Amino acid sequence: MPDGSYAHPQQRQFNPYTENGGTILAIAGADFTVIAGDTRQSEGYSIQTRYAPKVFRLTDRAVLAVNGFAADGNMFVKKVKQRLEWYRHAHAKDMPLRAIARLIQTMLYAQRFFPYYVYNILGGIEEDGSGAVYSFDPVGSYEREACRAAGAAQSLVQPFLDNQIYFKNQQLPPGQTRPLHLSLSDVLSIVIDSFTSATERHIEVGDGLEIYVVLAKGRGPQGLEAVRGAQELTTNAEGDRVFIVRRELKKD
């Protein structure tokens, strides 16, 4: 309009979401699982902090990595932990991994029409002692997989994992068969390589790396002895065990 006003009422909607960058990843072995995430939190081109954890120990056999909108992520983790505590009070034991996976689906889908804008990867040990990874979309669709990457550098890391874990596009020498499961030391190398590479090529990835290793009950620490600075977080020595390994990533 000539007077500078608008002919139609204008609506600018408040956007309740943002993206806080970062990448997470999890790989399941035969009797272990590795869950990792970088520690950078950013918004746009600004690095907000170089240390904001995205991976959380839920129980001695379950670790949850959360990526996307940090405020939703933190709130979601807080509520999952609360539900697990209530379960402990009611049943005097930790919730099994597959039950946590279904719980997470239910909690995510409950917010179907105002979703938690987060991609979840749950890793740990099943009741049968096998390593497991569950991946979720923001509204709760989920599946069990051998490996999964999510977040800002998913498109860089997932193809690498497809190649290294699932041996996609690899022509094996005649007579050689591919192993069904990789060793822990191989998996740790792949995880660290994934993050150093993602840090090189993606601006939202870097600063620090937190790697959680969950070992099935009775499994020795083979593959972990040589790892520098592995720290045990297990609360009950009888069952599965959780370790954390920290590494620096480039900060530029």
What would the two tokens of residue 236 be?
């009950």
User: According to the binding rule CB under 8 A, does residue 49 interact with another protein?
Assistant: yes
45 contacts: CB under 8 Å, gap ≥ 6: 203
Nearest CB to another protein, comparing residues 99 and 107: 107
What would the two tokens of residue 81 be?
């932990």
From 50-58, 87-95, 137-145, 198-206, span contacting another protein (CB under 8 A): 50-58
User: According to the binding rule CB under 8 A, does residue 6 interact with another protein?
Assistant: no
User: According to the binding rule CB under 8 A, does residue 41 interact with another protein?
Assistant: yes
CA–CA dist 20, 130 (Å, integer): 33
Question: Letter for the amino acid at 88?
Answer: R
Q: Do 185 and 226 touch, CB atoms closer than 8 A?
A: yes
Q: Specify which residues 133 forms β-bridges with.
A: 123, 145
Number of residues that bind another protein (CB under 8 A): 22
From 48-56, 118-126, 159-167, 222-230, span contacting another protein (CB under 8 A): 48-56
Sheet (strand 118-125) strand order: 55-57, 62-68, 118-125, 131-136, 142-145
User: According to the binding rule CB under 8 A, does residue 20 interact with another protein?
Assistant: yes
Identify the CA nearest to 224 among candidates 194, 244, 249: 244
Query: x/- site string to another protein, residues 82 to 121, per CB under 8 A?
Result: -------------------------------xx-------
Chain residues binding another protein by CB under 8 A are 12-14, 16-18, 20, 41, 43, 46, 48-52, 69-71, 74-75, 113-114
